[in-house]
Structure 1
Amino acid sequence: MPWVLAAVCLAGLAMPLSFTGPAVVLPLLREALGGSPVGLHWATNAFMLSFGAALMAAGALADNVGRRRVFLGGLLLAVASGAALACAPNLLVFNLLRGVQGLAAAAALAGGSAALAQVVQGTARTRAFGWLGASFGAGLAFGPLAEGLLGDSLGWRAVVLLPGLVSVSAFAIGAWRMPASRSIAATRLDGAGTLAFTLALGLLTLGVLQAPAHGWGTAQVVVPLAGAALAALLFVRTEARLLRQGGQPMLDMTLFRYPRFVGVQLLAAAPAYGFVVLLVLLPIRFIGLEGRSSWEAGQLMLLLSGPILLMPGIAARLVGRWSAAAVCAAGLVLCAAGLLWLGRCGPATGVRGYAGPLLAIGLGVGLPWGLMDGLAVSVVPRERAGMAAGIFNTVRVAGEGIALALVGAGLGALLADQLGHAFPGAGPAAAQAAQRLATGDLAQALALLPGATRADLLHAYALAFGRLTQVLAGVTLATAGVVFLFLRTPDLHGAEGQLAAGQG
């Protein structure tokens, strides 16, 4: 078991490195590959979109053809896509390869998680998946710092190669020690459901990303959003029909009869708006706009994500005294307070000024982060834990992709509003400058607004960012209340006892 756990944890470490890398080196990518603001947003969103869309399908594939095979195949694809990314000639090719990289991550996570679940049972399973969560946390905590230093010294290509190097180690251990396994009860893959789900996510993301540049009422936005709604409806109908026919759908709708299961899905989406979007927005702000070094930006990001490494053990001890509902809700309330505090930080704020809000957000998110993986497989009957884990991971990853698109579009709209008021005669140039600012391209934003100074644009950005954090804090607080209500229902499956025993 230790070798299987090591292989899966190394694969887990590679995933946040894949996610954060392009955000850290976005200014370098823009200089090397060019591209529009929407194209630069896709450098991050393409990975999250394909990752989230493919996760449940990859889990079903692992059950059908073998967990070890899917895990190792995903790692090989991760290595190959990372090498191809380093050779991308333009941003379009880079973004397409980022989509491939997301597929690889989905296969590695789904296959590895399923294989790990076969070799550990009981509280040992909770402990093993806690280590997997810690590996994600380590990647989030130290990844931006390492990637920033790599980008400064060796360029953006070294950054996109880093996850592949970690995946090579995971592949070597997995090929050596991971046993082969598959589900004897597995049925054929849900192709129609997979296609409908992927279309819904892709069209939703496309519509949201195009809104700042074209407007919410234009055909470029309305058509994709309408298509996403139709694809989502088709997905729900397809899954319901397959379940009635005795098949194996990607999404078992009957699990939503369990209130605690619903609460866990809401909990899975909560960090996206209070924490994950900051992993993309803050490096752009620190490096691209405020002109900080990669080392200083990495230190600031460590203050944000470092607490995730420390909080799972603390959360498990707290669950021994209070309910998981209370611990998770308290963490989200602290995160919301940190977001409001962060919104008050201006462009001249030093590391000490940022430390308080970033630590508050990291500590707050760390409480539910340390519990939700264990809750995901414990709030439903044991025989349905695999499906529950697949749904949970899909909600988490897909929710992060949607959050990135929505928050990026929201920041662009807030910036356009601020610049429109600051420069009333700028006209369409203000909206274009807003999109450039949102991707950290301060020089191009200044060129679009003659007479504007760097201080003017940084002030406008700080005001827009402050309004954005108010919205994010509101979403996080509302989620805290709803999660508390759902998770406080009777614990019929011993989830909290397993959490305390497995992580203590």
Structure 2
Amino acid sequence: MTSTALDPGLEAPVVRRSLATVLAVVGIPMFMVTLDNLVVTNALPVIKTELGASLADLQWFINAYTLSFAALLLTASAIGDRIGRRRMFIFGIGLFTLASAACAIATEPWMLIGARAIQGVGAAAVMPLSLTLLAAAVPARQRSAAIGIWGGISGLGVAVGPVVGGAVVDGLNWQWIFWLNVPIGVLVLPFAAKVLQESFGGSRRLDLVGLVLSAASVLSIVWGVVHGADDDWTSGRILTALIGGVALLVAFLVWESRTATPMLPLRLFRSRSFSVINLTLFTFSAGVFGSVFLLAQFFQVVQGYTPLQSGIRTLPWTMAPMVVAPLAGLIVDRVGARVLIATGQVFLATALGWIALITSTEVGFSSFVVPFVLAGVGMGLTFAPASSVVMHSAAEADRGVASGTNNTIREVGVAMGVAVLASVFASAGSYESPTQYVHGLVPAVWVGAAIVAVGAVVAAVALPGRRR
């Protein structure tokens, strides 16, 4: 079923496809890039052995993806506004597919890190534009429901990532977790080209200075945190990286406040909703995904399970968002985003604290089921309502850059969380034995719980109530 509507970014009427068709064409690529956030986690112990990787390498296998993703999200959105959102979206799918093949043929840690960084570049064009294209393609009355389903697809990527990674590593080898993206990408490219209508945002010049300053600042800070535990926090190069990163971040904010065409329009943060939701999502991403980076390896390193067995044991956590996120999207306009998001953060902080409290070398899997479910429900209550807040807090012309800003902050949160919690882990434990792993894991997860708890307080106190 199709209908005709006038897109404000085009002069001619455009054909609106059915909601299911649009969700499929934007959801499948978005699912791929979401999947690759966690698909590697259960393969890390195997990759560590086969490639001779260090703890720092393991962090960069995750952070190379998230940092390049974060650094280019806003630029990708801006380019999409100028040259066409559909065109940029399709480019992102193609690049992500090629980079996935490069990951699969990597034989050294640095090769995999480099290919993961290129994957992140492709993902940067896919993730924000998938939401922007979806919001533009459906009527306003269906938008909250569509965003809720979009959040559920994202939740599905989170849900099956560890299981897919584990199943592939057990049944084939770790390289196939990347080969799987290739046929999907090849098939979805013509589908997207046929279904999606081209649209444009406000034509503005690219902020290359802002891109360089923002990317350099985040990379410098994360590099310093990743290597601080091994190289001594007071060493010259660590201090230089951290102080230099902060200085670059300040320079970026000053530049953005003065340039006529900023990649990050600071006016967006005049909206209390936008400011608070981004702070909450930063703490959420840092605390949760930093913890997941270590917890995903617990069942293999400490309890001796295979990657597939480990992935299956995370399902009580990872499946819940797939169910809860669409429901949260359907009711967010009735109960308000603040209630759902604050409740979700409380659930997550409680679950992480619970996990840290019970974790030992002897603990059985059944002890993890309830806190895993609680954490999954908390994630589901966060995804769709947060996306809805972002979309509603920005004007139509700013939705692309608002989506890009939101995803940037989330991905920076992931990278910072992995770096900080891995540093806590390295300061108290190691991979040398199950006991040493637990000694590092427990304090790291406590730190993750504390970070999420901060976000819960911020959301409960500062997010506006239900829109009337």
Match of 2:462 among 467, 486, 490: 486
**Aligned mate of 2:292, from 260, 270, 279:** 279
Is 2:63 aligned against 1:45? Answer: yes
2:193 counterpart letter in structure 1? A
Confirm or deny that 1:129 pairs with 2:147. Answer: yes
- Do structure 1's residue 477 and structure 2's residue 453 form an aligned pair? yes
Aligned residue number for residue 265 of structure 1: 278
The alpha-carbon deviation at position 191 of structure 1 amounts to 0.7
TM-score computed with the length of structure 1 as normaliser: 0.84
- 1:85 equivalent in structure 2: 103
Counterpart Cα distance in 2 of 1:487 and 1:354 = 31
Match of 2:86 among 57, 68, 71: 68
Quote how far apart the aligned CAs of 1:312 are. Answer: 2.3
1:156 match: secondary structure: coil
Alignment of 1:152 with 2:165, yes or no, is no
Equivalent pair of 2:41/2:165 in contact (CA under 8 Å): no
What SS does the corresponding residue of 1:181 show, helix, strand or coil? coil
* CA contact 2:144–2:330 (8 Å) conserved in 1: no
Return the alpha-carbon distance in structure 2 between the equivalents of residues 107 and 269 of structure 1.
20
Larger Rg: 1
Is the contact between residue 204 and residue 228 of structure 1 (CA under 8 Å) also seen in structure 2?
Answer: yes
Partner of 2:392 in structure 1? Answer: 378
Write the letter of the residue equivalent to 2:139: Q
- Could you say which residue in structure 2 is the equivalent of 1:215? 232
**TM-superposed deviation, 1:10:** 0.3
Contact residue 20 and residue 143 of structure 1 kept, 8 A: yes
Paired position in structure 2 for 1:204: 221
Unaligned runs of 5+ in 2: 1-16
How far is 1:313 from its partner? 4.2
Q: Does residue 333 in structure 1 map to residue 346 in structure 2? A: yes
Tell me how far 1:163 sits from its aligned partner: 2.7
The Cα of 1:135 is off from its aligned counterpart by 1.4
One-letter amino acid matched to 2:184: V
Pick one of 462, 482, 496 that aligns with 2:438: 462
Quote the Cα distance in structure 2 between the aligned partners of 1:401 and 1:10. 24
Taking a change above 3 Å as real, the CA distance of residues 68 and 370 of structure 1, as seen in their structure-2 partners, is closer
Greater CA drift, 55-64 or 25-34? 25-34
Residue in 2 that maps onto 1:110: 128
Q: What TM-score, normalized to structure 2?
A: 0.91
* CA deviation after TM superposition for structure 1 residue 19, in Å: 1.7
In the alignment, the residues of structure 2 paired with residue 370 and residue 4 of structure 1 have an alpha-carbon distance, to the nearest angstrom, of: 17
* Match runs of 1:118-197 below 5 Å: 118-183=136-201, 185-197=202-214
Q: Counterpart of 2:115?
A: 97
Aligned partners of 2:287 and 2:452 also within 8 Å: yes
1:383 Cα deviation (Å)? 4.5
Cross-structure match for 2:13: none
Match for residue 369 of structure 1?
A: 383
Q: Which amino acid aligns with 1:219?
A: G
The answer to whether the Cα contact below 8 Å between 2:31 and 2:156 also exists between their aligned partners in 1 is yes
**Deviation (angstroms), 1:196:** 0.7
In 1, Cα distance between the equivalents of 2:370 and 2:342? 20
Q: Is the 8 A contact 1:9 1:131 kept in 2?
A: no
Partner of 1:14: 32
Q: Distance in 1 between the 2:336 and 2:388 partners?
A: 14
Q: Displacement, 1:100?
A: 0.4
Q: Residue 210 of structure 1 contacts residue 220 of structure 1 at CA under 8 Å; is this kept in 2?
A: no
Query: Which letter maps to 1:483?
Result: A
Q: Distance in 2 between matches of 1:73 and 1:384?
A: 22
Aligned to 1:307: 320
Query: What code does the residue aligned with 2:303 have?
Result: E
Letter of the 2:25 partner, please give it: A
Contact 1:267 1:368 (8 Å CA) reproduced:
no
Say if 1:22 and 1:160, in contact at 8 Å, map to a contact too.
Answer: no
Q: Partner residue of 1:234?
A: 251
Distance 2:79 2:447 in 1: 39
Q: Is the 8 A contact 1:3 1:173 kept in 2?
A: no
Question: Structure 1: how far apart are the matches of 2:88 and 2:364?
Answer: 46
> CA 1:336 to 1:174, structure 2 compared with 1: closer, same or farther past 3 Å?
same
Q: Which amino acid aligns with 1:466?
A: V
Q: What is the alpha-carbon distance in structure 2 between the residues aligned to residue 380 and residue 7 of structure 1?
A: 24
In the alignment, which of 349, 360, 369 is matched to residue 374 of structure 2?
Answer: 360
